Chain A
Amino acid sequence: MFQYEKKLQYPVRIKTPNPKLAAWVISQYGGPDGELGASLRYLSQRYAMPYPELKGLLTDIGTEELGHLEMIGAIVHQLTRGLTQEQLREGGFAPYFVDHTTGIYPTAASGAPWNAAGIGVKGDVIADLTEDMAAEQKARVTYDNILRLSDDPDVSDVIRFLREREIVHFQRFGEAVRLAKEKMDQKNVYFTNPAFDGVKR
């Protein structure tokens, strides 16, 4: 189960509202490589995982991603507080505002609402872990791109933290593939799928 902790993983304190930046950052809330998809991908994949290290790692990283979702929500919330009429009209925030006011809605910066088609759960050890490594890279690039666009040090500071987490996660998923391989058929890891065909004891 999950229990709520009334705090963020990392401090979010945005001094200056900036709806334009909010309209870009929202992509990591509900975009194709955002934190909502990340958490659901890992927390869903873990059921089929046959080895304790993989169950543990997917649970732990999936849970951390829920914390990142909350941080992205906090950034967008703080960037869109107390907006003037002029601020609503400029900077490309208006389309989001028309549909959601300043509520936090899982959507990509390009406007497509969050979609489970952006995540993969294949029920296969190597396929799922390889997907996870790619997912961490795609999230890392999205944060790179936000850093290119951001002119607010308060936002960039938090984005840098989140970006570095993707690199650490990539490393751990890579190690997880190797731990899994050690337990699989040494001559041919594709001989069976231990997530479906049963674990060799």
Chain B
Amino acid sequence: MYPENNQQNNPGTCDDSCGVLPECAPLAVPYVPFQQNNPKRYTQQEALANGTLFPGLNLPFQIKAEAVKVLGTQMAELQALEFMLLELGLYLDTHQDDQEAFALFRKYSNLEAEARKAYEAKHGPLTQSAAANAESWAAWLDGPWPWQHDTEGGAK
């Protein structure tokens, strides 16, 4: 469930769902505990299905998050890889010193670039600049657009 970093010693001192607070802190300012470095992580598909990469931050409403059926489409694979980048990016914004997270960001950036290339080769451009590789501009204009339903919300 928690690949890649499950076996390593977590450098944090608290349980994974908890964070660190200073012993004494100034009054009259809000305090949220810092998520500790090297937190446990889901796989990319689990991360997309749960809406977070981090089990410690997964706090569902009422119904316990059922293992959501993650759609095995090529689009969903790409969305899962991009979600890893997005979630790691926000984490790194406040944890610049976590080298492992940055190494992971690099790794997933490469994986995403490959997956994007494979997707576009089969289903058409995702950006205007990628349309330069298409036969005509119609490749950009042709549906499905992402909000359409008929063709599975744009996921081919």
- Which of B54, B71, B94, B152 is within 8 Å of A176, CB to CB? B94
- Which of B35, B71, B149, B154 is within 8 Å of A7, CB to CB? B154
0 or 1 for each of B54-98: is its CB under 8 Å from A? (1 = yes): 100111111001001001010110110011001101110111100
Q: What chain A residues lie within 8 Å of B89 (beta carbons)?
A: 60
- Which of B34, B58, B73, B82 is within 8 Å of A175, CB to CB? B34
User: Is the C-beta of B44 less than 8 angstroms from some C-beta in chain A?
Assistant: no
Q: Do A162 and B126 have beta carbons less than 8 Å apart? A: no
> What is the bound-complex CA distance between A173 and B78, given in angstroms?
27
User: Is the C-beta of B101 less than 8 angstroms from some C-beta in chain A?
Assistant: no
- Which of A157, A169, A189, A190 is within 8 Å of B68, CB to CB? A157
Q: Do A6 and B125 have beta carbons less than 8 Å apart? A: yes
Q: Do B30 and A174 have beta carbons less than 8 Å apart? A: yes
Known contacts A174-B30, A175-B35; A14 and B90 CB within 8 A of each other = no
Chain B proximity of A25: nearest CB distance (Å):
13
Residues of B within 8 A of A (CB): 26, 28-35, 48, 50-52, 54, 57-62, 65, 68, 71, 73, 75-76, 78-79, 82-83, 86-87, 89-91, 93-96, 125-129, 140, 145-149, 152-155
Interface of B is mostly: loop
The residue of chain A having its C-beta at the shortest distance from the C-beta of B93 within the complex is A57
Chain B proximity of A150: nearest CB distance (Å):
11
Residues of A within 8 A of B (CB): 3-14, 53, 56-57, 60-61, 64, 70, 73-74, 77-78, 81, 126, 130, 133, 143-144, 147, 157, 160-165, 167-179, 181, 188-190
Q: What chain B residues lie within 8 Å of A160 (beta carbons)?
A: 51, 60-61, 65, 68
Listed A/B pairs (24) with beta-carbon separation below 8 Å: A6-B126, A6-B127, A7-B126, A7-B154, A8-B153, A11-B73, A11-B75, A60-B90, A64-B90, A73-B147, A77-B147, A77-B149, A81-B149, A160-B60, A164-B50, A164-B60, A167-B59, A171-B32, A174-B33, A176-B93, A176-B94, A177-B32, A179-B94, A181-B29
